[in-house]
Amino acid sequence: MALSSCQSQTSETNTPTLKTNKTVDNSKYRDLTPEEERVIIFKGTEYPGTGIYNNFKDTGVYNCKRCNTPLFDSKDKFNSGCGWPSFDDAIGENVKEVLDEDGRRTEIICKNCGAHLGHVFRGEQFTSKNTRHCVNSISLHFEPEKKITTDTAVFASGCFWGTEYYLQQIKGVVDTKPGYIGGDVDNPTYEEVCSGTTGHAEAVRVIFNPDSVTYEELAKLYFETHDPTQVDRQGPDIGTQYRSEIFYFNEDQKRIAENLIRILENKGLKVATNVTKATDFWVAENYHQDYYIKTGKQPYCHRYIKRF
């Protein structure tokens, strides 16, 4: 998918003219650094992929850097792969839309102080709201929600791209990381794992909020988004690294996994999924992270089939 960019060529290459909102009393607002002024006041743009909130996944509210007005909620943030933080909704009417002077794009600004935030795009089909507020990190100040309790799960079900794709869409999942587990080589590379000599499985480590989603719900989705009857393969991917395996961290996770397997077996499935105590998890190379979000493609060896 081709994305429209937040970047403004004129703001990067020319010296902009400050358009002062006469209703704004700067003494009431946070002092800005020269770089913050370049973006917030002079309508500049961060270089894509450099903002601190681009891949940020904490829970809380994103406020205006200049006046601290609440603008976006973390629940509305999604990874569009564009290089800037993306939100499919704004808080109340605190974000104002203004047509660019060239009439080609729609700028978004803080309704309270007029701070430049970025641009808004519609019709890209990223979420059900079909809206992408493309925002400069430097225009935002994050206010975290009270500290939440998190738990960890690790699932292997073939190519970790597809495993991550489904798990990272679940509300309550704080973070997902494709990686390698279950082998006997420290810090293996993708090439080493693919050789089949290290003993590792391609897997996904899931950090989740148990108050929002349970381990059992995640495990059910895991079994419903791959074929747990296949041995050392998943669809066209063949090899021990593509095996179906749950790596548990405590006896409760083990009990839940084994109980779900019994349910599936009672339904006639010959489940090949192993249930194994978790060992060291090695995060995969960066180009494997958020693969389907970054490429806009769909999983080729994973699909959802209701089993419970």
CATH number at residue 203: 3.30.1060.10
Q: How far apart, in whole angstroms, are the C-alpha atoms of residue 181 and residue 49?
A: 29
> For 212-268, how does the pLDDT look when each residue is reduced to its tens digit (9 = 90+)?
999 999 999 999 999 999 999 998 999 999 999 999 999 999 999 999 999 999 999
Is 67 in the active site?
no
- Tell me which of 64, 159, 194, 301 is the catalytic residue: 159
Q: What is the pLDDT of residue 7?
A: 61
Residue 31 has pLDDT above 60, yes or no: yes
Which of 144, 171, 189 is where one domain is finished? 144
Which of 98, 119, 144 is where one domain is finished? 144
The reply to whether 219 and 89 lie within a common domain is no
Q: What is the pLDDT of residue 296?
A: 86
- Tell me which of 64, 110, 134, 301 is the catalytic residue: 134
Which of 144, 177, 202 is where one domain is finished? 144
Question: Is 200 within 8 Å of 241 (Cβ atoms)?
Answer: yes
Written as one letter, the residue type at 150 is T
Residue 24 has pLDDT above 60, yes or no: no
64 CB-side CA count, 13 A: 27
Q: Is 96 a domain residue?
A: yes
Model pTM?
A: 0.57
Q: Is 2 a domain residue?
A: no
How many domains does the structure of the chain reveal? Answer: 2
The reply to whether 194 and 75 lie within a common domain is no
Q: Is 245 a domain residue?
A: yes
Q: How far apart, in whole angstroms, are the C-alpha atoms of residue 37 and residue 136?
A: 12
The reply to whether 105 and 162 lie within a common domain is no
Q: Is 98 a domain residue?
A: yes
Q: What is the pLDDT of residue 3?
A: 62
Q: What is the pLDDT of residue 251?
A: 97
Is 110 in the active site?
no
Residue 57 pairs in a beta bridge with none
The reply to whether 158 and 282 lie within a common domain is yes
Parent domain of 58: 9-144
Give the chain's end-to-end CA distance (angstroms, integer).
Answer: 34
Q: How many CB atoms lie within 10 A of CB 161?
A: 22
The reply to whether 137 and 171 lie within a common domain is no
The reply to whether 222 and 252 lie within a common domain is yes
- The mean pLDDT value of the chain amounts to 90
Residue 71 has pLDDT above 60, yes or no: yes
Residue 103's pLDDT band (boundaries 50, 70, 90)? confident
% of the chain exceeding 70 in pLDDT: 91
Who contacts 153 (Cβ-Cβ below 8 Å, separation ≥6)? Answer: 205, 206, 208, 215, 218, 219, 249, 253
Q: Is 283 a domain residue?
A: yes
% of the chain exceeding 90 in pLDDT: 80
Helix intervals (H) in 68-203: 160-167, 190-194
Residue scoring higher pLDDT (120 or 3)? 120
Q: Is 1 a domain residue?
A: no
| CATH code assigned at 103 | 2.170.150.20
